[in-house]
Structure 1
């Protein structure tokens, strides 16, 4: 694993970058600034097309002309050139005369890059996702999630019915877990724990990573029955299946009662306060007295500055009726569930580690 900068250094660098971006925005007339901001939709759509059509994969081997790319992909030659030219303008490609090549920013759009973000781009750029964001005014007016208004079913039901989008969604979540992991591993020691329970751990990538960091630990994955076969395969490929127990079930009903550490990554933010309280109360009821709970979530900082948690909070409102929370809100929620907040460990990614123990 490459050496990561200290959290304070990374956050200072982010603060400098944010300040520079703010100064740049204030240097243009306000109407131009608004136009540039709203045009971000076009930039995102360009990135989505590059990933969706396989343009990045077609350029992975080196510079090519738009005609060559179009011939491989079966796309319209002139339209392909115009897409590549626009993508170069956004920094995803480099244009040299009639040839285009991937830049370092564009390379993660390929499907097989070690740091591939293609699945995340395909999830966010998909019309099934974008159409829900189009109802943000309605979500703010009503305080209610809007996925059902768009798709006729809740977000979770959509993922059950639409296997194509579910595959994209699950791959994106797995990729984001892998993206966060180095920063989590650098900030938290998993070796003291004998049995780590991943509650709602999806395909098991996080559990595999935690067991890799704690070779003396056993793991338990609690997930819906439908996701367990894929999780079993991933854990087998990671070489940790022999140390794992897979359990199917709903985490609102029960969690395994023999863990030392209970982990939930971006689970609580899917829930409103009453749902979150119900889940945390179940965890508190079933976990041993000496165990710890670790929530991997974005924590909303105080003040009016920019922060990813504030954007993600709107995403939760729109799709599932959940929310991101401040440190004070986490402390209050955990207290209501019979848990005591022990610390919040920041990382250099968008994840913070909210640690709690059963209240005395």
Structure 2
């Protein structure tokens, strides 16, 4: 019988992220949730200062700080701890993934793969967005995490997509309004509407007010499965369709098609899985693949290839007219669709 042990063992750099990725994440999440990242954002802090700030067990906190340095999340300059560049990616997103309902969902990934059901639903007895109705803390953390994603993606969207062609943008599932605030800020002749559920727009008015956009941007509350507000000539869907299966996605797009004027456009901002992978960046491709599994765990949706997006558009009476890669992680694209020719 031949041995299955490789002749060249994997290095620690190769196996640690796979074997102990969960531990690395929780180290980062604990550093964030304890308030350490917020504390060192002002200036480097000694261990003694961080013990005082957090109120944590002294020896245990020192052990966490040591691990965070070795993981590359913190750096130690003399006696002071400071955040590294990668620390900017922790905060609401890591807090969301460390939340017990989300942690439980990842525990049942195998059952999700075996059955095709959302792991979150299996683990928590309700789909993610239904769960938010009884868990406002997780809902708030989720929307904060989505805002963090917008902070990375919005500048690329504003710089590389031409909004000057349009008069009124409707951000479908727009949440706190971060994307639309950036778009309107860069396009002074454009008006807008943020459309989302009641728990999605809790903080939207404040975001728009801070940006000075109250007179140019309204808020409409509702479910995109029931209707989409009329009046726009461009409808934006950023990181929305990947949350929903094909039938649900076509329903969302169909509701937009019902109110889309002649000459109007639908623009989906999302990761796009490569077909074949000949020219893909390995890190970007891995990020998109992980995002696809996260959709399996958290939602009924998935990441899709360009051909799969084209099929969704066609099923909703739309035609894909442009697919523009954006300088964002994880093979991010702007997918523009117009009403299909009759």
> 1:153–1:334: structure 2 CA closer, same or farther, 3 Å change rule?
same
After TM superposition, the structure 1 stretch with the greater mean CA deviation from structure 2, 55-64 or 190-199, is 55-64
Structure 2 gaps, min length 5: 1-5
Q: How does 1:317-356 map to 2 (within 5 A)?
A: 317-349=296-328, 350=330, 351-356=332-337
TM score, norm. by length of structure 2: 0.90
3-state SS, counterpart of residue 255 of structure 1:
coil
> 1:53–1:213: structure 2 CA closer, same or farther, 3 Å change rule?
same
Instruction: Please give the alpha-carbon distance, in whole angstroms, between the structure 2 residues aligned to 1:28 and 1:73.
Output: 44
- Whether contact under 8 Å (1:197, 1:261) holds in the other structure is yes
Instruction: Please give the alpha-carbon distance, in whole angstroms, between the structure 1 residues aligned to 2:52 and 2:230.
Output: 58
Q: How does 1:38-187 map to 2 (within 5 A)?
A: 38-96=19-77, 99-105=79-85, 107-108=87-88, 117-187=90-160
**Equivalent residue in structure 2 for 1:274, among 247, 259, 262:** 247
Partner of 2:339: 358
Q: How does 1:202-217 map to 2 (within 5 A)?
A: 202-217=175-190
Structure 1 gaps, min length 5: 1-25, 109-115
> 1:84–1:117: structure 2 CA closer, same or farther, 3 Å change rule?
closer
Instruction: Please give the alpha-carbon distance, in whole angstroms, between the structure 2 residues aligned to 1:27 and 1:274.
Output: 48
TM score, norm. by length of structure 1: 0.85
Per-residue CA deviations over 1:259-286 (Å, capped at 9, x if unaligned) read 1111111111111011111111121122
Partner of 1:253: 226
Displacement after TM superposition at 1:352 (Å): 0.9
Per-residue CA deviations over 1:9-34 (Å, capped at 9, x if unaligned) read xxxxxxxxxxxxxxxxx996148544
- Whether contact under 8 Å (1:117, 1:175) holds in the other structure is no
RMSD: 2.1
Size of the aligned set, in residue pairs, is 327
> 1:106–1:293: structure 2 CA closer, same or farther, 3 Å change rule?
closer
Displacement after TM superposition at 1:118 (Å): 1.2
- Whether contact under 8 Å (1:60, 1:107) holds in the other structure is no
Instruction: Please give the alpha-carbon distance, in whole angstroms, between the structure 2 residues aligned to 1:233 and 1:311.
Output: 33
Partner of 1:199: 172
> 1:60–1:247: structure 2 CA closer, same or farther, 3 Å change rule?
closer
